[in-house]
Amino acid sequence: MSGGKVRVAFHTLGCKLNYTETSTIARSLDTGKYEKVSYDEPADIYVINTCTVTGAADRKCRQAIRKAARQSPNAKIVVMGCFAQLRSEEAAALEGVRLILGNQEKFHLAGYLDELSANPENVSAVPGTEISDVASGPIVHSCESMERSSFISSFSMGDRTRAFMKVQDGCDYHCSYCTIPLARGASRNQPVAECVREARVIADRGIREIVLTGINTGDFGKSTGESLHELLQQLIKVDGIERYRISSIEPNLLTSGIIELTAASDKLMPHFHIPLQSGCNETLARMRRRYRRELFEEKVAEIKKVMPHASIGADVIAGFPGESEEEFRSTYEFLENIDLSYLHAFTYSPRINTPAALMKPVVKSSDATQRSHLLQDLSGKMALRFALSNRGERERVLWESRNSNGLISGFTDNYIRVTTPSQEVEEGWITDVMLTEPDKNGGFIVTDL
């Protein structure tokens, strides 16, 4: 406690959606009672919003919990989110963990913390109800309801230039490697009108860019009889927001209407992140993805035809069960010959209760890691090639915060990082910049503005 206030520290792992949700949950705490401190400082309560997308993500959750327990041995640790939802017993066994909240329950954190502070040893199952005896371990609240009607909205307000807005949650797909539908439930979204209202709130705070996030963002509208295309049509009418990006969209959900609207609007950024996962059709079939590589290729060509400078990134998984050398080569060659700007390469790791975890043959972990490194190298080449193709162009940059060396960075519409030592620009400004010579990472350092 400091000055009578309870010190609470938040830590988030995983995707942008999780960060967005932490931001909303942290805002819900009464600042008269709680003082928010950094996760690196001593605290009375640590709230860790977790991820379980890969084995590495699980490892990071355990490390984060142990770090909190080491730092403040008397602190109460709250573990919430996907790892909490799917691996609650494992979380409960870790030192210092007092409360475990699933993906819906975490939004009631303020209520749970009120009871936790009033009753140092106990917390009730549901805020406002009878206190449970938790002498034998932490309380676990998970999977309350993740039905289509249970969408809980969120948006981040962390920095002054860009906000992340959750428009969709859950997933109805059954990709054979993915545990997320178990952790996040059915696909659901908030209505277009509600998204527009939130965008206005974000605009009123002076934020210029919104990134639309979700688990399967392209599925937006399924639970309200609307569509992502309609959402974009309405959002671009909101005054004050200059830029929108879609965090990620499945290739089979990226419609021609969305591509055309993006090309026609200067508020929709020419930047698409499209999960490919494999460039080999046999591997895609085992992954139970809903497209063949030809569809992905068509989408990239369709975008480039109307927006030649669009940035297109892709997720790729290396070492999926049964991925032979030949299959990997097929993926690699496919990627080499397609006009992408970057890759996010992941090494496959089996997730419990997924069909892929039982598939054979398993790829040797050293081979999977080596393939992942090859994809990362390829991503570097793509980024440089993309930057060179933009050399000599004038691009709009939204400037973000200045670092301790006095440099300020921002992104172009097509998602190229630009850095300058110039004092002529400030955070939140959008200015035109001439892209002269790229650095080796595919960014640009500009001295004259």
Binding footprint of ligand SF4 on the chain (CB under 6 A): 171, 173, 175, 178, 180-181, 215-216, 250
Closest CB to ligand SF4 among residues 216, 372: 216
Closest CB to ligand SF4 among residues 79, 215: 215
CB 24 within 8 A of CB 213: no
Closest CB to ligand SF4 among residues 13, 109: 13
CB of 279 to ligand SF4, least distance (A): 16
CB of 287 to ligand SF4, least distance (A): 8
Closest CB to ligand SF4 among residues 250, 400: 250
Q: 10 Å Cβ neighbour count for 312? A: 24
- DSSP one-letter code for 16: H
Closest CB to ligand SF4 among residues 153, 216: 216
CB of 180 to ligand SF4, least distance (A): 4
CB proximity list for 75: less than 8 A, separation 6 or greater: 42, 43, 44, 45, 46, 68, 69, 96
CB of 348 to ligand SF4, least distance (A): 12
The first and second tokens of residue 279, run together, are 């460039």
Closest CB to ligand SF4 among residues 152, 430: 152
Closest CB to ligand SF4 among residues 142, 248: 248
143, 147, 187, 275 from 215: Cα distances, Å: 17, 15, 8, 12
Closest CB to ligand SF4 among residues 139, 375: 375
d(CA 147, CA 172): 11
The first and second tokens of residue 297, run together, are 């290729």
Written as one string, the DSSP assignment of 379-425 is HHHHHHHHHHHTTT-EEEEEEEEE-TTS-EEEEETT--EEEE--SS-
Closest CB to ligand SF4 among residues 9, 178: 178
CA 44 to chain centre: 28
200, 270, 335, 406, 416 from 386: Cα distances, Å: 34, 13, 14, 27, 9
CB of 114 to ligand SF4, least distance (A): 33
d(CA 399, CA 418): 9
CB of 284 to ligand SF4, least distance (A): 12
CB 260 within 8 A of CB 250: no
CB of 365 to ligand SF4, least distance (A): 21
CB of 366 to ligand SF4, least distance (A): 25
d(CA 229, CA 335): 28
Written as one string, the DSSP assignment of 235-299 is HTTSTT--EEEES---GGG--HHHHHHHHH-SSB-SEEEEEEE-S-HHHHHHHT-SS-HHHHHHH
Q: Beta strand 188-189 with 168-169: parallel, antiparallel or unpaired?
A: antiparallel
CB of 72 to ligand SF4, least distance (A): 35
